Amino acid sequence: MSKRVLVIAPHPDDETLALGGAITKFINQGHEVHLLIVSGHLPPVYKQEDYDITINEAHNAFKVMGVTNFTFLEIPATQIGDLPIHELNKKFTDIVDMLKPHMVFCPYPDRHIDHRIVFESTMVATRPVGSGKNIEILGAYETLSETHWNAPHIEPNFTPNWIIDISDFIDIKIQALGCYKSQISDFPGPRSIEAVKSLANFRGTQAGFAYGEAVHIIRKIS
């Protein structure tokens, strides 16, 4: 049965870093995948040209993964918190009400302030009332490098309880990530192609297959 899947990403590239393989897998399985990109490299912190570059890269990555449904909220990066919280919550809730997704994925509340705020607003928009009752799986994903820079035992540690097998889609994930030339770094950078592939390899072997993407399931109904 086809499902509606919503992946909420704080910035362009987070969706591919975290779930590029799963996104491609879901699409190949016939599911309807929607991406919500909350923020981007916009003025005043960044130049408009920076945003234009990353948006073009995002479109190229989406094509590689087969994504045709996406929304950019165009909130300046690192300034999501400047938006009144009720306004941000409404933007998220409006998307959930419109799509009525069966699965929702959001960032784990990690080192990046944007990730933590997006997590909080996702939790509000996906409460099990109204359209939220349609949500069968709500999960938080890890993002190199931010998730792994949390202070152990002082802040929450990412502990996955679902590994999605992306062994058949790792090459597409890496190809899509390669579209983000302005964002990926050389090895041993945490967002290098080698690091991303190594993490996928490690996650896969945790569950008995070659490559995987990790999710912490927040809520699951059946």
The rounded percent of the chain whose pLDDT value lies above 90 is 88
Express each pLDDT in 28-49 by its tens digit: 999 999 999 999 999 998 999 9
Query: Helix, strand, or coil here: 76?
Result: strand
Q: Is the peptide bond before 109 cis (omega within 30 degrees of 0)?
A: no
Quick one: pLDDT band at residue 59, thresholds 50, 70, 90? very high
Question: Which of 213, 206, 138 minimizes the C-alpha distance to 174?
Answer: 213
Residue 219's identity, in one-letter code, is R
Helix axis angle, 14-28 relative to 48-65, nearest 10°? 20
Q: What is the CA radius of gyration of the chain?
A: 16
Quick: pLDDT tens for 149-200.
999 889 889 999 999 999 999 999 999 999 999 998 899 988 899 999 999 9
Sequence-ordered list of residues with C-beta below 8 angstroms from that of 7, at least 6 positions apart, any chain: 15, 19, 23, 33, 34, 35, 36, 104, 105
Buried b (16+ CB within 10 A) or exposed e, 186-204: eeeebbbeebbbebbbebb
